[in-house]
Amino acid sequence: MANIVPDSFKTNLLKGVFNFDTSGNGGNAFKCALYTSISGYSTSSTVFSTSNQVGSVGTNYTAGGNALTNNGVSIASNIAFIDFADLTFSSVTLTAAGAAIYKTTGGGNELVLVLDFGGNKTATNGDFIIQFPTNDSSNAIIRIGDA
């Protein structure tokens, strides 16, 4: 499986449902949840799901995931992009195969992206870190443009 950009994100982005602004102009808040399997997600998925989410009992993982820090909207080389700061799940014992990024403000828990880790990743009584790509027009996690 590969990363999934839901069709609902694409259309809702154009409808103004998502706001990635970080300058105090009403930008949305986002979270990232971890999953033992992302097989329940597809391009037709619309919202965050608890199915296959990493369990919270004995793992120190918080159901629903952790809040993301949005690095803001930028543009370079005809590409608009946003990215998130690397995310740490501290002192956890878990195995995850993927993650879902979703909007937590305004109701609805709308999906942004589903990430496929390419196999199981494990942390044992340590930090589980999602390292997002460089925040630029060639690498950021979300890019829109015609370069």
User: How confident is the model at residue 51, as a pLDDT?
Assistant: 96
The C-alpha atoms of residue 22 and residue 56 are separated, in whole angstroms, by 30
pLDDT at 1: 61
pLDDT at 140: 94
Q: Taking the model in full, what pTM does it have?
A: 0.94
The residue type at 12:
N
CB 98 within 8 A of CB 37: yes
- The neighbouring-strand residues paired with 101 are 32, 113
pLDDT of amino acid 106: 81
Instruction: Show the low-confidence residues of the chain (pLDDT under 50).
Output: none
The first and second tokens of residue 32, run together, are 């990232």
